[in-house]
Amino acid sequence: MKKLSTTGGANAIVTKVSLIAALAGLLFGLDIAYVNGSLELIVKDFGLTTSQSENIAGILLFGAAIGAVFSGWLSRRYGRKKVLLLASLIFALFTFLGVFAPSYTVLLVARFIIGLAVGIASFVAPLYLSEIAPFKIRGRLIAMYQLMITIGILAMFLSNAALLHFGSWRLMMSVIAIPALVMFVGALFLPESPRWLVLVGRPDDAEKVLQRIRTSDEEVEFELNEIKETVKVKGGGWKLLSKSFFRKVIILGILLQALQQFSGMNAFMYYSGQVFKAAGLSNPAIATVVIGLVNMLTTLIAIRYVDKLGRKPILYTGLSILAISCAVVGYLFRINPPGSEMTSVEQWMTLIFSLLFIFGFAVSLGPIVWILCSEIFPLKGRDFGITITTATNWISNTIIGSYTLTWFAHLGVGGTFWMFGAFNLIGFLIVGFITPETKDIPLEELEKNLEKGVPLRKLGMRHVS
């Protein structure tokens, strides 16, 4: 294979480019985890009610839902690079606004606008990564993005725990400005996505980018032709909705994303401090750091095994763990209503089953729902499908962020976890009856089966007539 003289450092460039784009995942994690540990300080500072404090968490997620809806259009119109640059600029500027917010309302506005950037980045960064990565490591790069989210969450939990004794939520927030600035400066130097350049009729520019990021002329030529072929397939989400096979996969994606959120994971991500305090744990901030660590390490394991073991067996295992841990944590809070104190054995059990819950999520629903949603849609409707399902994720996430404290107050912490447990049981029906196994099957074959009218559950089987 002939080596390109200009592309000696192609691998190094791809690594650099991927790291900068993956910073979007880190910022996503940092921003959503921020409230866990800082919220009580904000409440004290501004004298907020329960629903106002839920708004601090919820408004960012609501912004993300809106950002996700518009990101498909934005990245098609202006290109992936410009949109990533915009998101990183918003992250940096509005983090400063948040840090210096003189009032609750200004803080809400800053969090809403940061949310727009989170939603945009959650769509564009994985898209950009998948378009810039050499085909052999594409899957690994998308997985790396997921891992960056969990690293961001862990980093925020750690930083909040370390800064707790200063008692300043502003200081806690200022930490986010550093990676935001790094990403903004780095994004200035990103090459545009070759696929987008072909999409807007600039194949020569696409070729120039490919020459920088691929190692041989053959690779450049092969990929350029492949891109030209795939962009010929016109996208047409709304029109495709008239086809029942497309409606079916859209509904599947929506149900999977709603299930991921209603499993209750983010009740821990945002409010584990409150849960552990209610259980009487002496150091909720440290327990929260352990949660972040288990989340990150388990995601690492999941990424390693998801292609080997298949999606469905892991989903069944994860859902069983989630349902059982919700039942136990719920029970421990039910027998210890507010005002009574848990014994130390009960406190340990609360912690252990909470960690088991995190393990169950991070090994299954966490990564696999995103993977399935990137696989089940036919090429023509992929952008549309991913936009709808990503928006569903954020809308459901907004509901969890905005109402969990209210549920804790009205249903009790125990009742709330039983409710999440019930959703995880419903998850068995979704996985059992309508989710296909997509391990080891080319996406083109899934698409053919779908168009033939094969039932969703059997989409991943070969040669179904």
The neighbour count for residue 386, using CB atoms within 10 Å, is 23
CB of 353 to ligand BGC, least distance (A): 18
The alpha carbon of residue 249 and the mean position of all alpha carbons in its chain are separated, in whole angstroms, by 20
DSSP 166: G
Give the residue from 134, 42, 66, 58 showing the smallest Cα distance to 397. 58
Q: Which residue is nearest to ligand BGC (CB)?
A: 366
Cα angle, residue 196 at apex, residues 191 and 200 outer, rounded to 5°: 120
Q: What are phi and psi of 3, to 5 degrees?
A: -80, 140
Bridge partner residues of 3 (DSSP): 216
Identity of the residue, 66 or 454, whose beta carbon is nearer to ligand BGC in the bound complex: 66
CB of 269 to ligand BGC, least distance (A): 5
Distance CA(79)–CA(191), nearest Å, equals: 11
CB of 150 to ligand BGC, least distance (A): 5
CB of 394 to ligand BGC, least distance (A): 8
Q: What are phi and psi of 460, to 5 degrees?
A: -85, 0
Identity of the residue, 152 or 412, whose beta carbon is nearer to ligand BGC in the bound complex: 152
Distance CA(31)–CA(435), nearest Å, equals: 31
Identity of the residue, 110 or 149, whose beta carbon is nearer to ligand BGC in the bound complex: 149
3: left (phi over 0), alpha (psi -120 to 50) or beta: beta
CB of 61 to ligand BGC, least distance (A): 9
Chain residues binding ligand BGC by CB under 6 A are 32, 149-150, 153, 260, 265-266, 269, 295, 366, 370, 393, 397
CB of 191 closer than 8 Å to CB of 212: yes
Identity of the residue, 127 or 269, whose beta carbon is nearer to ligand BGC in the bound complex: 269
Identity of the residue, 154 or 454, whose beta carbon is nearer to ligand BGC in the bound complex: 154
CB of 53 to ligand BGC, least distance (A): 19
Identity of the residue, 88 or 266, whose beta carbon is nearer to ligand BGC in the bound complex: 266
Distance CA(373)–CA(256), nearest Å, equals: 8
Identity of the residue, 32 or 206, whose beta carbon is nearer to ligand BGC in the bound complex: 32
Give the residue from 297, 296, 259 showing the smallest Cα distance to 434. 259
CB of 268 to ligand BGC, least distance (A): 9
